[in-house]
Amino acid sequence: QVQLVESGGGLVQAGGSLRLSCAASGLSFSNYGMGWFRQVPGKEREFVAAINRNGSSTSYADSVKGRFTISRDNAKNTVYLQMNSLKPEDTAVYYCAAAVRNIATTSAGYFYWGQGTQVIVSS
């Protein structure tokens, strides 16, 4: 059974930082591209960042470029999202996902999803 479990969310002031983690189990982690998405109530899930299978290539949404960094540790079956210079508009539930493709920037490219972790950025 595939499981993706996010952690590291919470409440932070604007300008602060958080590091999200996503621990994967039940799949051959290094064979999957990984991504982070976020969603606020009433809006569609939004792409945030993606990383390819061996971590050599990344992609970011324009809204987070230069502030967020995605990385992975295949030995630990974990993908990370380092979020710096957080803004109130970053408030959302953040989801990690696994893609069969090497790297994907749309939700349609992802097959497995975590349950999400809440991030709240106060102004």
Q: Which two tokens stand for residue 75?
A: 């030995």
**Contact residues for 28 (Cβ-Cβ < 8 A; gap 6+):** none
| CB atoms closer than 10 angstroms to residue 21 | 17
Q: Which two tokens stand for residue 104?
A: 């994907």
- The predicted structure's pLDDT at residue 38: 98
- The predicted structure's pLDDT at residue 120: 98
- The predicted structure's pLDDT at residue 100: 83
Q: One digit per residue, pLDDT tens: the chain, 123 residues?
A: 999 999 999 999 999 999 999 999 999 999 999 999 999 999 999 999 999 999 999 999 999 999 999 999 999 999 999 999 999 999 999 999 999 889 999 999 999 999 999 999 999
Angle among Cα 58, 61, 63 to the nearest 5 degrees reads 135
Q: Which two tokens stand for residue 15?
A: 């300008």
Rounded distance, CA 42 to CA 3, Å? 26
